[in-house]
Amino acid sequence: MDSEQREYLLCGESIMLVKLTEVCDNGAVTNNKMYSLREVFINPEHVVMIREEKRMKELNERGKVAPELDKSHQFSKLTINRGQAGTEIVVVGSPEIVENTLKNSKQLLRG
């Protein structure tokens, strides 16, 4: 998994954002729903849960996610803290790989 980290200054405090690849649906309400990929930058401090997303893996194996994506890819669902509630996004990569990517950025920030 190719990851990129960017450091930003927010209210005088340095934060690290990590680039992941998000899987987005096309918004169609049909059985032939297709998905696309886009870059998303995540603050690792706000990720509260990572779990495997098997349904997306099955869709990818059937060619429903993105044609350029290898059929062997795994996917993870991230729960991101937004204060009163959370939001969930699906990203490319196994939970272990996503966890390591997020963990490495935290070590760089604090190290």
- Residue 9 binned pLDDT confidence (cut-offs 50, 70, 90): low
- Residue 16 binned pLDDT confidence (cut-offs 50, 70, 90): confident
Measured CA to CA, the distance from residue 4 to residue 32 in angstroms comes to 33
| pLDDT (0 to 100) of residue 7 | 57
Residue 33 has pLDDT above 70, yes or no: yes
Backbone angles phi, psi at 92, to 5 degrees: -80, 130
Residue 3 has pLDDT above 60, yes or no: no
Q: Where in the chain are the domains?
A: 4-110
Compare 65 and 27 and report the one with higher pLDDT. 65
Average pLDDT on 74-93 reads 93
| pLDDT (0 to 100) of residue 110 | 41
Please tell me the least confidently modeled range out of 66-70, 71-75, 90-94: 66-70
**What's the full length of the chain, in residues?**
111
8 A C-beta contact, residue 48 and residue 18: no
8 A C-beta contact, residue 72 and residue 60: no
